[in-house]
Amino acid sequence: MPTSKPLVVVTRKLPEAIETRMAELFRVRLNEDDQPFSREDLVRAMAEADVLVPTVTDRLDAAVLAQAGPQLRLIANFGTGVDHIDVGTAHQRGITVTNTPDVLTEDTADMTMALILAVPRRLVEGERLLHSGGWTGWSPTHMLGHRIWGKRLGIVGMGRIGQAVARRARGFGMAIHYHNRRPVHPDIEAELEATYWESLDQMLARMDVISVHCPHTPATYHLLSARRLKLLQRHAYVVNTARGEVIDETALVRMLSAGDLAGAGLDVFERAPAVNPKLLGMDNVVAIPHMGSATIEGRIDMGEKVIVNIKAFADGHRPPDRVLPNLM
Ligand code: 8YV
């Protein structure tokens, strides 16, 4: 890293306060009109930047990283998930990668809980009915959904966000079950009265709601495969605020269409921003455009983390949120 201010290229428009602070601290190239970078834009940016600040919309694969100039020393991702970055290749090339953990946990858990409530209680369907002018009045059997209280929630991936969802779901009277590579600390398990399932298959077969909270890695790609989705009970709901790739979306659509699942709440999609049109036509699907962490407070916190990581690195220190290849 040069001793003068590093050149920081930011690929998307960030909150005003963050861009202002970045401009005070670094030489910055901002993306005023927020047009996503093409592959060529990324390669051009990496030929000049000392620090690249990408987001989930930038695919930094081995081929793109191979074209990085020798001056590029830090990729300070604006976001927690790093599945769009080939972290292994970056490290081989001596490029440090950082992310923004913790600060979006509560917002993402809130949105997850909103979906867990919205789908079984037919919230969006009811709202659409009212807006369409189609409501003719109350009836004892109209718009009946399903109760959440007392139901079993199966959390796939009991990291920070999984635990934050469990805390909320407890408040709504749900029984907490989870699958994780290993059990969480016994104190956390006790606090959440959570039941650990070593076998994902066995857990899936017994839950009323499944919520996905693991990162997308080669090991979790299609973790909820066609075979595993078939293990779910017909009355089960699937919620995903993690990454679309963790669920075989084609199989999910097939099962929803066939009535083999009760519904889904989806914030993420396998081929985002493309969304399977069949999903959008289903009343029992609530689909939102990757809004899990979309609060202004959260975005500012994320930006501040990015700044701390860049500043530490530029000052010759170890940035706090380094992502190591073997931790992916
Ligand atoms: C972010 C996310 O908005 O941080 C993550 O991993 O999924 C999102 O909530 C996005 O990734 C920003 O790059």
Flag whether pLDDT at 327 surpasses 70: no
**Mean pLDDT, all residues of the chain:** 97
Amino acid 4: pLDDT: 83
**Phi, psi torsion values for 18, nearest 5 degrees:** -75, -45
Give the integer Cα–Cα distance in Å for 109 and 292. 8
310-326 confidence digits (pLDDT tens): 999 999 999 999 999 96
Ligand 1 closest atom vs CA 55 = 13
Q: What is the pLDDT of residue 201?
A: 98
**Model confidence pLDDT, tens digit, residues 268-284:** 999 999 999 999 999 99
| pLDDT at position 1 over 90 | no
* Atom 3 of ligand 1, residue of closest alpha carbon: 293
Lining residues, ligand 1, CB within 6 Å: 55-56, 78-81, 104, 292-293
- Give the predicted TM-score (pTM) of the model: 0.96
Please name the CATH architecture into which domain 105-287 falls. Answer: 3-Layer(aba) Sandwich (3.40)
Mean pLDDT computed over 246-260: 98
The protein residue with its alpha carbon nearest to ligand 1, atom 6, reads: 81
Q: Rounded to the nearest whole angstrom, what is the distance from the C-alpha of residue 92 to the centroid of ligand 1? A: 25
207 contacts 189 by C-beta, under 8 angstroms: no
Q: CA 277, CA 287: separation in Å to the nearest integer?
A: 11
Q: What is the pLDDT of residues 99-117, one digit of tens each?
A: 999 999 999 999 999 999 9
Contact 201, 230 (CB under 8 A): no
pLDDT at 54 over 90: yes
For domain 7-102+295-327, give the CATH number.
3.40.50.720
Residues 146-166 pLDDT 10s: 999 999 999 999 999 999 999
Domain boundaries, the chain: 7-102+295-327, 105-287
pLDDT of the residue at 205: 98
pLDDT in tens, 179-212: 999 999 999 999 999 999 999 999 999 999 999 9
The type of residue at 106 is E
- Ligand 1: which of 11, 34, 56 to mutate, judged by most atoms within 8 Å of the beta carbon? 56
